[in-house]
Structure 1
């Protein structure tokens, strides 16, 4: 399936077939898409918690109680659920980990290139931490790039997906011990196969026209 067809075909699944499981080799492609998503200055400020068992999904569903109960079935009936987490800050350990990995992967032709990459990335961190004072929001934006990559990728793999912001972040952060790891839950994504109850599967896609959303200079 070409990428434009996948974009036009995909929809947000509203109900899942609880009896159908996505093969792990297919989900591995989703994991690879997430890991290879773009991020500002290659910051990769994310961590992904995967629930692929009934017990794991039940833990995630604890955060979809009360006013968010409409999302519980999308968590419990899906094949896999991924919690997309953002780093709370770009600390020294993470900055060094990035630089070391880039070195192992052959990103630097010499020591000057390595130093330049490190200085450039740290410059962006300083700007967002002390200039615009929006470092948390900056990091969260990178995680949403990964979410978009995964949602489009799921369509190319012919599986369904549901992004969800409707959950209690504090409950989930505590359940998974995220804050102690320097992380915060940001958005959920369920993956699986739609059931007959997925009304959104049969509805036409609706988007504003090109004339309304593009300005050509």
Structure 2
């Protein structure tokens, strides 16, 4: 399939086939996509919890809104997307060192420039705790979009889930003590035959309503 066909066929899965599991090679591909996702000034302000067994599913289930629980229990995997709270100097220094190890800086001047530029944009979006977390959350949604499209490209169904209690999720996973906060979830797996959403036509506004060419 080309990218247009993928976008036309991809949809939000409502019912999963619990008997079908994502093969390790395909899961590894999706995790690599998450790892490689773009973020503002390469801030990578994220951490991902991979839920792939019944014990882990049951652990987070109290935080999931009732109507979304089957999307966790029946899917192959659920990923909890978390931001760092706060996005601190330790993380920024770690990023810089990793970029250096990966050969991003042919000379010291570029290293300094990258560090200064990243600090500028982090500070620009950190006037309050809420503004920093909102900025980090926007980076997570870039990663979420990458994941949903990549999953569809290799024949895996998905559901983005905002219907959950974030405070409860943070408590269940002990995220506060780790300097993390959950933002959104994504379930991955294979649709059930009973998934009615698979048989409904996609509905989107027409191009003339959403595109303006200047």
- Same fold, TM-score > 0.5, yes or no: yes
Instruction: Encode CA deviations 1:65-85: one digit per residue, 9 max, x unaligned.
Output: xxx100011100000110011
Structure 2 equivalent of residue 22 of structure 1: 22
Which aligned pairs between 1:1-217 and structure 2 lie closer than 5 A? 1-64=1-64, 68-130=65-127, 134-217=131-214
SS in 2 for 1:130: coil
Poorly superposed stretches of 4+, deviation over 3 Å? none
Q: CA deviation at 1:6?
A: 1.0
Instruction: Encode CA deviations 1:2-58: one digit per residue, 9 max, x unaligned.
Output: 222111110000000011111011011110111111100000001000011111111
Query: Separation in 1 of the partners of 2:161 and 2:155?
Result: 20
Q: CA deviation at 1:209?
A: 1.1
Unaligned runs of 5+ in 2: none
Q: CA deviation at 1:131?
A: 8.3
Change (3 A) 1:133 1:126: farther
Over aligned residue pairs, what C-alpha RMSD do you find?
A: 1.3
Query: Separation in 1 of the partners of 2:129 and 2:86?
Result: 14
Q: CA deviation at 1:97?
A: 0.6
Unaligned runs of 5+ in 1: none
**TM-score w.r.t. length of structure 2:** 0.97
Q: CA deviation at 1:197?
A: 2.0
